[in-house]
Amino acid sequence: MEKTMIEKLIDTAIKQLDFSYTPYSGFKVGAALLTKKGEIYTGCNIENASYTPTNCAERTAIFKAVSEGVRNFQAICIVGGKNGVLTEYAAPCGVCRQVMMEFCDPETFQIILAVDKEKYDIFTLNELLPLGFGPSNLL
């Protein structure tokens, strides 16, 4: 992926931190999901007083896209930190990795973990979810 696109995704994910609703943990996460056509779907984490219904930023972005008929995903950029302060990578939780497995090719889908535009690393879904169970297992 081009560096300009990586930087755009990082900027977009960071902007989502303002919308993150986290009165309980204070841990703010932003996501920017890139489709193969070049569209970007955004997401933030949304907490709940009953805790369990909390939705992660990554799944917010993925479900927004899927609910609009879009499933051809190329990459997702994730940023996060306590009180929105970005000091280290916020890696996706196991549930989000599994949701990515449902819609993304584990060999090619790129997960960009970023602190800022100077510090980021790119992983494939396969690297973050080795031996994942997905739709192809049910064929």
Ligand X SMILES: O=c1ccn([C@H]2C[C@H](O)[C@@H](CO)O2)c(=O)[nH]1
- For position 93 contacting ligand X by CB under 6 A, the verdict is yes
Pick one of 26, 68, 93, 121: the residue that binds Zn ion (CB under 5 A): 93
Judged by beta carbon, residue 7 or residue 124, the one nearer Zn ion is 124
User: Which residues, 6 or more positions from 109, have their beta carbon under 8 angstroms from its beta carbon?
Assistant: 73, 74, 75, 76, 100, 124, 125
**Nearer to Zn ion by C-beta: 85 or 93?**
93
Asked if 39 is an active-site residue, the reply is no
Is there a contact between 89 and 121 (Cβ–Cβ < 8 Å)? yes
Shortest approach of Zn ion to residue 126 CB, angstroms?
18
Closest CA to 59 of 98, 22, 86, 23: 98
Map residues 43-82 to x or -, x wherever contact with ligand X holds by CB under 6 A.
--x-x------x-xxx------------------------
With CB under 5 to 8 Å by kind, the binding choice for 110 among Zn ion, ligand X, none is: none
56 appears as a binding residue in the annotation: yes
Contacting residues for 138 by C-beta, under 8 A, at least 6 apart? none
Nearer to ligand X, 42 or 58 (CB): 58
Distances (CA, A) of 70 to 17, 61, 119, 126: 23, 11, 29, 22
